[in-house]
Amino acid sequence: MHFSSLFLLLLFAFLLWPLNRWHRSRDSLAPAVFAGLLLGVLFGGLLQLARSWGAVPAEILPWIDMLGDSYVNLLHLLVMPLVLISILAAVVKVSHTQALGKISVSVLAVLLGTTAIAALVGVSMAKLFGLSAAGLVEGAREAARVTELNERIGRVTDLSIPEMLTSFIPENIFADLAGARDTSVIAVVVFAVLLGLAALAVRREFPEEGAQIERFVHVTQVWVMKLVRLVMAFTPYGVMALVASLIANSSWADIVNLFSFVVASFAAIAIMFLVHGLLLLVNGISPLHYFAKVWPVLVFAFSSRSSAATIPLNVETQVDELRNSPAIANFSASFGATIGQNGCAGIYPAMLAVMVAVPMGINVLDPVWLATLVGVVVISSFGIAGVGGGATFAALVVLPAMGLPVTIAALLISVEPLIDMARTALNVNGAMTAGTLTQRWLGDELGVPEGGEA
């Protein structure tokens, strides 16, 4: 290893020490997460400059990635046990089984409704910034991406909506607990609900055995949540490593070349954050107080680019900070990680559709075309998990359904990581907004207690 590379690696390790001191001196996780974010940005920028000193980032980044990826792996490890036991505990604790249906409908209504709004915002920003696929240059990396997309598009477009919905039903729960399918999270939710309903039936017929089941579920939930909090303690260090790697790997030349698309994407995402805030405000919830409590979750979602990995932190924040009931928090976090993602399934495919349609002479403001696009986006957002998840696969569903080519998705690969960070934060915020609104609408009606009382 080059001497300057070794020096930078030791500097990164040294910076973990003051971050640890800062973390241990604070009761809240938020200040330490923010400190990790700043240190990650500064160190990532330093690695960009270090190339001129003879340092080789390729020698340093694997070690930094080891820390960041290990943390994300631990979070992925938590997802299935947390979803299973939390949903099961929520069903067992809910006094009226009808509450489960109303909670699910409310959460899905917010997720899908905001995704429709996100599609319209994406269309508006693409038109406002005059975005078009005409003139985009295809390099070697983009050509390889086109080939990859062409190989995958068959498996995407061949899936019908009934097939997507059927994939939500578990066939082998052990395979789904291992995350073997793209829809495993929803399948585990379905299994946990069925298991919880069975526990309620046992409690009605055999009160003594039912009480034992409830006690077992409670003890297991306490155990799993203790594990979640142990892993959450590593969040500042994981954020620092993830952000440093993202900044160091960013290509500023590519960002400049696609500057209009980057700015339009961030503008659309910012507008949707405002939409979320407006929905909260209309329902008597202070957006300022809300965002002050959830921003550590958004920072992690931004740096990790993984809605699924953010589920544990999402649930914990909804319950402990937003005071949403465990039932609502778990349903909204689980559904929001795979259904109705405002950024990946709403804004992105809508913007790409406009960019492709304009050079083809299509009037994208035609009410019929626009309504069709929004309808396709909403329907596909409900089934994106069935075809692999992510913004690219959302585009692979929406664009062919609108009779448009998918090549555009490959031509934007160079700026995808940067925009995907903000899209993921928006996806996660949509899930937390859905949970918070559902708590406000249904908490009193259904007797669902707030988080602090569960």
3-state secondary structure of 371: helix
Tens digits of per-residue pLDDT, 394-426? 777 788 778 887 666 656 665 677 788 899 999
CA distance 127 to 145: 26
Highest averaged pLDDT of the listed ranges 23-37, 241-255, 373-387: 23-37
d(CA 389, CA 127): 26
Cα angle: 337, vertex 356, 138; to 5 degrees: 90
Residue predicted with more confidence, 251 or 213: 213
307 vs 251, more confident = 307
Task: Average the pLDDT over 269-286 and give the result.
Answer: 97
Tell me, what's the pLDDT at 95?
Answer: 59
Residue 100 tokens read as: 């489960």
Q: What is the pLDDT of residue 107?
A: 93
Over residues 302-318, the mean pLDDT reads 86
Averaged pLDDT for residues 381-402: 67
List the CATH number of the domain containing 291: 1.10.3860.10
Whether the pLDDT of residue 170 is over 60: the answer is: yes
- Of residues 255 and 259, more confidence is placed in 259
Q: Across residues 366-373, what is the average pLDDT?
A: 92
Q: In this model, does residue 111 exceed pLDDT 50? A: yes
| DSSP-derived 3-state class of residue 136 | coil
Burial class (CB in 10 A: 0-12, 13-18, 19+), 156: buried
Own/partner long-range contacts of 366-374 (Cβ < 8 Å, ≥24 apart): 370/120, 370/123, 372/402, 373/119, 373/123, 373/398, 373/402, 374/116, 374/119, 374/120, 374/350
Place of tokens 């930078």: 8
Handedness of CA 199, 204, 206, 209 (dihedral sign): positive
Q: What pLDDT, on a 0 to 100 scale, did the predictor assign at position 255? A: 64
Q: How far is residue 251 from each of residues 48, 255, 352, 413, measured CA to CA in Å?
A: 10, 6, 22, 11
Averaged pLDDT for residues 144-173: 63
Q: What is the DSSP letter of 448?
A: P
Quick: pLDDT tens for 175-194.
Answer: 989 888 767 888 888 898 89
| Average pLDDT across the chain, whole number | 82
Backbone angles phi, psi at 321, to 5 degrees: -100, -45
What is the residue whose two structure tokens read 């500097």? 11
Query: For 132-141, 175-184, 216-225, 239-248, which range has the lowest pLDDT when averaged over its residues?
Result: 132-141
> How many structural domains is the chain composed of?
1
Please give the average per-residue pLDDT across 206-230, as a whole number: 89
Report phi then psi at 358, rounded to 5.
-60, -50
Residue 432 lies in domain: 3-453
pTM to 2 decimals?
0.77
